[in-house]
Amino acid sequence: MAKDEHAPELTPELILSAYAQGIFPMAESRDDDRLFWVDPEERGVMPLDGFHISRSLRKTILQAPYQIKVDTAFSAVVEGCADRDETWINDQILNIYMGLFNAGFAHSIEVWDGADLVGGAYGVSLKGAFFGESMFSRKPNASKIAMAYLVSRLNAGGFTLLDTQFLTPHLASMGGVEISRISYHEALRDALKVEANFHRQPPTVSGRQVCT
């Protein structure tokens, strides 16, 4: 991990090229305008055939207490992910991912309680890889519900790789694992040969479909 204060201006094309090479940008904090590129020695991934839905989460999903939407409030999801004491999402990150969203490469899974956005996740789609950027919760289990719906969508769309960048206890509880940089780059090369479709699954699916 190294800062490059003389890096070229970020564009959607540059970001996609970076993802295809296994690297991604971050900022030190919300108020730091500088960005740096990251290529972790140990990469967090969520195996799409190994996502773990606990009994309590399954019960909640089947009860359907929230409405799940796709790509209707992308900027609000990014802002929700940045709304914490420490964040790597600054204004430049928000703007560049809005560009990717407008170009059809970035997506959000949103958890709504009526008119309130209470959780969600967002990331970047490229061929058969989905690069998960961040998630947030304003109500219990909201981010886990978003992740469950995301995994269901990626499986339906033919994706082979869900990159979570780093492994946190939260992600590990859902089946996330760490793999070496070499293994990650091999999985990424394979995923970039796949023609996947984020919108193959319809916007609305049942909790039962997600839990199967």
Write out pLDDT tens, residues 54-102. 999 999 999 999 999 999 999 999 999 888 766 667 777 788 889 999 9
Question: What value does the mean pLDDT of the chain take?
Answer: 90
Q: What are the domain boundaries of the chain?
A: 2-211
The secondary structure of the chain in percent helix, strand, coil, rounded to multiples of 5, reads 35, 25, 40
Q: Tell me: the pLDDT tens digits for 3-20?
A: 444 455 778 899 999 999
What local confidence, expressed as pLDDT, does residue 132 receive?
94
The pair phi, psi for residue 195, each rounded to 5°, is: -95, 90
| CATH code of the domain occupying 2-211 | 3.40.630.70
Q: Output the pTM of the full model.
A: 0.91
Residue 181, Cα to own-chain centre: how many angstroms? 19
- Identify any residues that bridge with 161 across adjacent strands, giving them in sequence order: 129
- Identify any residues that bridge with 126 across adjacent strands, giving them in sequence order: 129
Contacts of 66 (CB under 8 A, 6+ apart): 111, 112, 113, 118, 119, 139, 142, 145
